[in-house]
Chains A and B, each alone.
Chain A
Amino acid sequence: LNILETLIKYKDEFLESLKLNVKKEGHQLEEVVEKTELPGEYARRFTLHPIDDPGQVLAREEELTTLQKAYDNWKITKNCLLIVGESGSGMTSLMNANLKLYEDVKVIENKDNIHSSSKLMDIFKDIFQLEEVNSIKDIPEKLDKEVQRVIIFENIERLFLRKVHGFHLLEDFLLLMHATKDFIYWIVTINKFSLYYLDQTYGFSPNFLSIIKLPPFPIDYLKEVILQRNSGYEILYLKPENPSTLLSQRLKQAEKDKKQSILEEAFFTKLYSFSDGNISRSILFWKNSVIRISEKRVYVKAYEPKPIGDLSLDDLFILEAILQHTSLSSKELQQVLRHSSKGSVLSLAS
C-alpha cells in the first residue's frame, strides 16, 4: 500500500510538473459570486450599461471616423452597414455616440429573441408609423421613398433560432433591407459568434458591403476607465494569491514606494489577459478583485479565475448555442439542441 501511495504521489508530482494535472475545482457556481458585498454607492459606479454621453466614448475615434465615411458612402452607393463585436464590447455605446451624425434616426434595440413574424411586424409598424400592413413584404410599398432615414437595428442575431424554419425572420429582414436600402440607411449590429455561424451556413456578410469589426480596447483605455470609476478612492494593490517568480523577485528588490506601481502594473496585465480587451469583462474582473473598502480606501487583490475543468460534449453544445444566440431561454435551448423539455432543463441544471 505504501508503495502504491508513493507511486500515486510521484505520478501527481510528475503531472504537476508537466502542468497536465488540472485539479477539479471551481465547478460550483457559488464560487463565482462576489466575495465582498460592495457598498451601494461604490457598486453603482461599476454597473454595466451603455454610455449615453458621446464625450465619454473614448478609444473609438477611428471607428467613429469609419462610421462617418460609411454614411457618406451610402448616400452614393446605398450600401448598408454591419457592425461586428463581442457582447459587452461597447457596440451600443458606439451607436449612441454615432447618433449625432444623423438627422432622422431610429434605434431598434432587441434585448429579447424574436421568433414570430407578428412581433417583428409590430416593431416595424411602430418604427415606420404604419397601421395597415399584413406582411413584412408589403412594408416597402407603404413607405415614402422621398424621405431618407437611418435605422439602427441592434443585435440582429435575435432574429434567428438554430432550428428548421428558424431563419425566416432573418430572411424577411434582409429582403426588407435590400428593398428599402435606397432610402433607408440600415446600420445592423451583430455578435461575432453569431456572424461566424451565419457566414458559414447562410453567407450573411455579403449582404453588407461596409463592415466594421470592433477591435478590443487597449490596456491603457481599460485602466483609464477603471481608475475613472474609482475617483475619490485611494487604491491599494495587494500581492496576488499566486505571484509569479519574476513578480516576487521584482517586489523583493523594489523600494517601498515603488512596490505599489509594480503591483498595479501586474494587476492590469492580469485584468487585460482575463478580459481580452472587453470592457464588460474588465469591470467584472475589477468587481471580483475588490476585497475590502474602508474609509475611501479600496483594497484590491487580482481575481484568480477558477479553472472550469473538463466540460462534457453536452456542456460544450450548450455553450456554443448560447454564444451563437447571445442568450437563450430554456425553451429556446430545448429547440436548438433538439432536446425534450425535461432533458433541456436537466442539462442546464447540471
Chain B
Amino acid sequence: MKFIKFCFLVLCLALPQFTFAQDETNSAGEVAENVAENVGKTVTGVGDNVGNAIGRATDIISFEKIFTIVVVILMLLGIIRMMNWLFAYAVKRFNRHRLKILRMQPIVNVLLWITTIYALIFTLFNPDQETLYAFMASSALALGFAAQDILKNIFGGLLIIFDRPFQMGDRINVKGNYGEVIGIGIRNTQINTLDDSIVTVPNSAIISDSVSNANSGALDCMVVIDLWLPIDVDVELVRKIAFEACITSRFLNIDKSVNILFFDHFNQTPATNVKIKAYVFDARYEKAFAGDVTEVAKKAFQKAGIYKKKKKEQA
C-alpha cells in the first residue's frame, strides 16, 4: 500500500517536468493549433450536449404535449361542471332520493380526476418502470416535506369519501360548526351552517376530530325542542298542547313517534323543562319545525293561562 502511494507521488511530481520539457521543443504555431483544436472540440461537444439536452427536453415536454394537457384539463373541468349540473338536476327532480344522489358526487369527481391524470401520464410520457419509481420516490420525498398539510387533507378527503363518517346532505357538527354538508372535496369539506354561512373545514381537521352526524344518510332527522314553563304547570294540559303543536306541524314526519318528556330544574328559578322529541320530514327544515312548534305551543300556553299563573304568584 505504501509502495503504491509512493509511485503515485513520484508520477505527480514528474508529469509537469515532462510536459514543460516537451513544450520547449514544440514551436509556437503548433501550440496555437492545438489550442484552437481543443477549443473547437470543446465548443462542438458543448453544443452537441446542449442540443441533445434540448432535444430530450422537447421530447418530454413539447408544445403539443402542454397544449394537450391544457385542453384535456379544460375538458375535464367542463365534464365535472356538467356532472355537477346533472347531479343538481337529479336532486331537484328526484328530491326524495336527494342524499343517495349527492353521495355519489364526490366519488365521481375524484374518479374523474384520477382517471384523467393517469391517462395523461401514460399516454403522453409513457414512463418506464424505473423512471416511474424514481419519480414517485422523489416526488413523495419532496411533497412530504413541502406539502405535508395538503397531503394530510387529501388523504383525509379520501378517507371521508370511502370510510363515509358522513355524506353530502348530512347534518353534522364539526369543531362547533353545525350545518348541512354541501361539498366534500379532495382538500376540504364545506358546511352550510344554520345562519347560511359556508364554513370550509380542512379534511385533516375532520378526521382528527370527533364529528356528530344528525341524520346519517337519512332524509329525516330527530329534533329536540326545549320549552321552559313554570314549575307547577298542569302536566296533562301541557302534554296535550305540546303533542298537538307537534302533530299539527306541516314539517313533522308522521311516520315516526313523538315523545314528550318533563324535567324539573331548580338551578336559580324552579322551572319545568318540556322536551319534545320528534322527527322532521326533511333535515333541511329542522329549525323551521322547531320554530313552528315552539311558536304554536307558546301561543296555546298563553291562551291556556299557563304563564299567567306564575305572574300572579310573583305579584
Distance in angstroms between the alpha carbons of A20 and B250 in the assembled complex: 29
State which of A165, A200, A202, A317 has its C-beta within 8 Å of the C-beta of B250: A317
Q: Please give the distance in Å from A201's CB to the nearest CB on chain B.
A: 4
B292 in contact (CB, < 8 A): yes
A residues near B241, Cβ cutoff 8 Å = 164
Q: Please give the distance in Å from A308's CB to the nearest CB on chain B.
A: 14
Known: A20-B93, A338-B292. A201 touches B247 (CB 8 A): yes
Contact between chains at B254 and A197 (CB < 8 Å): yes
A residues near B245, Cβ cutoff 8 Å = 164
Distance in angstroms between the alpha carbons of A310 and B89 in the assembled complex: 12
Interface string of A190-217 (1 = CB under 8 A from B): 0000000100111000000000000000
Contact between chains at A320 and B247 (CB < 8 Å): no
> Which of B92, B254, B296 has the largest count of A CB atoms less than 10 A from its CB?
B254
Considering only CB atoms, which chain A residue lies closest to B285 in the complex? A313
A residues near B254, Cβ cutoff 8 Å = 197, 200-201
A residues near B250, Cβ cutoff 8 Å = 317, 320-321, 337-338
Considering only CB atoms, which chain A residue lies closest to B256 in the complex? A200
Interface string of A296-321 (1 = CB under 8 A from B): 00000000000000100000010011
State which of A164, A202, A321 has its C-beta within 8 Å of the C-beta of B296: A164
A residues near B92, Cβ cutoff 8 Å = 310
Q: Please give the distance in Å from A191's CB to the nearest CB on chain B.
A: 16
B195 in contact (CB, < 8 A): no
Distance in angstroms between the alpha carbons of A202 and B258 in the assembled complex: 11
B residues near A162, Cβ cutoff 8 Å = 248
Distance in angstroms between the alpha carbons of A288 and B292 in the assembled complex: 42
B residues near A20, Cβ cutoff 8 Å = 89, 93
State which of B89, B248, B258, B295 has its C-beta within 8 Å of the C-beta of A166: B248
Contact between chains at A164 and B255 (CB < 8 Å): no
> Which of B247, B248, B295, B297 has the largest count of A CB atoms less than 10 A from its CB?
B248
Distance in angstroms between the alpha carbons of A166 and B250 in the assembled complex: 15
Considering only CB atoms, which chain A residue lies closest to B257 in the complex? A200
Q: Please give the distance in Å from B279's CB to the nearest CB on chain A.
A: 11
Residue pairs across A and B with CB atoms within 8 Å: the count is 35
Contact between chains at A167 and B255 (CB < 8 Å): no
Contact between chains at A165 and B300 (CB < 8 Å): yes
Interface size class for chain B? 10 to 19
A residues near B248, Cβ cutoff 8 Å = 162-164, 166, 336
Q: Please give the distance in Å from B3's CB to the nearest CB on chain A.
A: 85
Q: Please give the distance in Å from B125's CB to the nearest CB on chain A.
A: 32
B244 in contact (CB, < 8 A): yes
Considering only CB atoms, which chain A residue lies closest to B245 in the complex? A164
Distance in angstroms between the alpha carbons of A200 and B278 in the assembled complex: 13
Q: Please give the distance in Å from A321's CB to the nearest CB on chain B.
A: 8
> Which of B89, B93, B250 has the largest count of A CB atoms less than 10 A from its CB?
B250
Contact between chains at A200 and B244 (CB < 8 Å): no
Distance in angstroms between the alpha carbons of A20 and B297 in the assembled complex: 43
Contact between chains at B244 and A166 (CB < 8 Å): yes
Interface string of B245-268 (1 = CB under 8 A from A): 101101000110010000000000
Distance in angstroms between the alpha carbons of A317 and B292 in the assembled complex: 14
Contact between chains at A167 and B244 (CB < 8 Å): yes
B residues near A163, Cβ cutoff 8 Å = 244, 248
State which of A164, A197, A317, A321 has its C-beta within 8 Å of the C-beta of B244: A164
Q: Please give the distance in Å from A333's CB to the nearest CB on chain B.
A: 11
Contact between chains at B292 and A164 (CB < 8 Å): no
Interface set, chain B 217-270, CB cutoff 8 A to A: 241, 244-245, 247-248, 250, 254-255, 258
Distance in angstroms between the alpha carbons of A223 and B256 in the assembled complex: 41
Considering only CB atoms, which chain A residue lies closest to B250 in the complex? A317
B residues near A317, Cβ cutoff 8 Å = 250
Interface set, chain B 264-315, CB cutoff 8 A to A: 292, 295-297, 299-300
Contact between chains at B296 and A200 (CB < 8 Å): no
Interface set, chain A 2-53, CB cutoff 8 A to B: 20
Q: Please give the distance in Å from A175's CB to the nearest CB on chain B.
A: 15
Considering only CB atoms, which chain B residue lies closest to A337 in the complex? B250
B residues near A200, Cβ cutoff 8 Å = 254-255
Q: Please give the distance in Å from B96's CB to the nearest CB on chain A.
A: 12
Q: Please give the distance in Å from A44's CB to the nearest CB on chain B.
A: 41
B residues near A201, Cβ cutoff 8 Å = 247, 254, 258
Distance in angstroms between the alpha carbons of A240 and B254 in the assembled complex: 41
Distance in angstroms between the alpha carbons of A165 and B243 in the assembled complex: 10
Q: Please give the distance in Å from B227's CB to the nearest CB on chain A.
A: 14
Q: Please give the distance in Å from A165's CB to the nearest CB on chain B.
A: 7
Distance in angstroms between the alpha carbons of A89 and B295 in the assembled complex: 39
B residues near A310, Cβ cutoff 8 Å = 92
18 A-B pairs whose Cβ atoms sit less than 8 Å apart in the complex: A20-B89, A20-B93, A162-B248, A163-B248, A164-B245, A164-B296, A164-B300, A165-B244, A166-B244, A167-B244, A202-B247, A310-B92, A320-B250, A337-B250, A338-B250, A338-B292, A338-B295, A338-B296
Given A197-B254, A201-B254, A202-B247, 15 extra CB contacts under 8 A: A20-B89, A20-B93, A162-B248, A164-B245, A164-B248, A164-B300, A165-B300, A167-B244, A201-B247, A310-B92, A317-B250, A320-B250, A321-B250, A336-B248, A337-B250
